[in-house]
Amino acid sequence: QLPAGLYKKVLVILHDSILPYMNEPTLMIDFLTVAYGIGGAISLLALNGLFILIHQHNLEYPDFYKKLYGLLDPSIYHVKYRARFFHLADLFLSSSHLPAYLVAAFIKRLSRLALTAPPEALLMVIPFICNLFRRHPACKVLVHRPDGPEGMSEDPYIMEEESPSESRALESSLWEIRTLQNHYHPDVAKAAAVLNQSLSEMEDDISALLELSAPELFDKEIKKNAADVPLEFEQIRGLFGKKNDIFAEHFTLD
């Protein structure tokens, strides 16, 4: 049993400062699997080490995607290690052999959590979701149900379900992204509107968006050159401002 602070310090450097110098990196399997099951930021940090063991040392981890799916909670868009998590999630979901129900569950959960995410996170996760559609065309059925599944009065997707296979994501629709098309931030609304059109075959490069922060987004906005807005002023006459109504004859604003 290690303190949470020590867990984080070890896991941050484990993948590049410890595992490459071990003769048998597989000795860390138990440590990483236990850390992955703790939850929260510790689980996010354990993903780096697990990725190396899975990718380079043929580690077979049962229910890996189920636990990865379980890490998606409202804090995922706010944590310090958000960029690291989405970089690895992009790698884990890159295989075209993943079942459609699994990818659809990730798309649906990320979209639902995006409803309360800050703009800088939305500008990253919307292209992330678009890339998943490009890799897995079978999931596009979510986009082609703009008004929801026929004959259903509510979304069949079960947000509280821990297993992606039981979440009924493929039966749902992506109304959350449609909602984000009316977002107050124009860049978010523009990014969400991409799904109204046919997606290009080329994937979006999200590497530059992973580290996007609120101050950077603010600086970008204030540096924009605002176009001159033409104004036409007409002096108000009468009580309601109309030129030739009965109120203009009998009332003034003097």
The span from the CA of 165 to the CA of 11, in Å, is 30
Structural domain includes residue 192:
yes
Mean pLDDT (whole number) for 95-122:
91
Number of structural domains in the chain: 1
CB 149 within 8 A of CB 171: yes
What is the rounded average pLDDT for all residues in the chain? 83
Structural domain includes residue 106:
yes
Mean pLDDT (whole number) for 233-241:
64
CB 13 within 8 A of CB 45: no
CB 178 within 8 A of CB 96: no
Structural domain includes residue 7:
no
The span from the CA of 164 to the CA of 109, in Å, is 10
Structural domain includes residue 63:
no
What are the residue ranges of helices labelled H in the chain? 4-13, 29-36, 40-56, 64-70, 82-92, 100-114, 119-135, 175-180, 186-192, 214-222, 246-250
The span from the CA of 76 to the CA of 126, in Å, is 14
**pLDDT for 36 beyond 90:** no
Q: pLDDT class for 63, splitting at 50, 70, 90? A: confident
CB 59 within 8 A of CB 50: yes
Mean pLDDT (whole number) for 42-50:
83
Structural domain includes residue 178:
yes
Structural domain includes residue 243:
no
pLDDT of 243: 65
Structural domain includes residue 160:
yes
Mean pLDDT (whole number) for 38-49:
81
Q: Is 225 exposed, middle or buried, given 0-12, 13-18 or 19+ CB atoms closer than 10 A?
A: exposed
Structural domain includes residue 74:
no
pLDDT of 236: 63
Q: pLDDT class for 55, splitting at 50, 70, 90? A: confident
**pLDDT for 10 beyond 70:** yes
Domain of 104 in residue numbering reads as 97-145+155-223
pLDDT of 152: 53
Q: Which token pair is 242?
A: 């109309």
pLDDT tens sequence across 113-164: 999 999 999 999 999 999 999 999 888 888 877 555 554 568 899 999 989 9
pLDDT of 97: 83
The span from the CA of 133 to the CA of 204, in Å, is 11
